[in-house]
């Protein structure tokens, strides 16, 4: 069957490809993250948009108010970001942190001062 709607909020082209495959007939795939590196191409069978009646959209409409709200929610603990952090490093291990950040299985790396 598949998902009715999928929100892609990570900067990995393969996630968009997987979302198009996984969405249900008549479903929506929304991309809310730029794909890196810039110029990355994705490979999707264009017939899926026709046969599955998929809608693909993208957004980049955050503003200062959105940022303030996000910071407020994070600081109050409304949103727990710990599951998004793959590794934490002291500043003295900056090189190791940068190497870890480049690995495909790493989502976010934190470097503490």
pLDDT in tens, 63-106: 889 889 989 999 999 988 888 899 999 999 999 999 999 988 88
Strand, helix or coil for residue 70: helix
Q: What is the CATH number of the domain that holds 32?
A: 3.40.50.720
Q: Mean pLDDT of all residues in the chain?
A: 91
Residues 75 and 44 in one domain: no
The whole model's pTM is what? 0.56
Q: Which domain holds residue 80?
A: 64-112
Same domain, 72 and 87: yes
Q: Which two tokens stand for residue 50?
A: 């026709």
Residues 54 and 79 in one domain: no
Which domain-ending residue is among 58, 73, 93? 58
Q: Do 46 and 67 touch, CB atoms closer than 8 A?
A: no
What is the domain count for the chain? 2
């Amino acid at each position: 069957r598949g998902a009715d709607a999928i929100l892609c909020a990570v900067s990995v082209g393969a996630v968009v490809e997987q979302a198009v495959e996984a969405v249900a007939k008549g479903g929506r795939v929304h991309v809310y993250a730029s794909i890196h590196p810039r110029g990355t191409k994705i490979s999707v069978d264009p017939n899926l948009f026709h046969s599955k009646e998929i809608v693909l959209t993208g957004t980049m409409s955050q503003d200062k108010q959105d940022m303030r709200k996000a910071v407020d929610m994070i600081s109050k603990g409304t949103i727990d970001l710990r599951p998004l952090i793959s590794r934490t490093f002291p500043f003295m291990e900056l090189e190791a942190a940068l190497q870890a950040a480049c690995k495909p299985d790493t989502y976010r790396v934190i470097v503490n001062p």
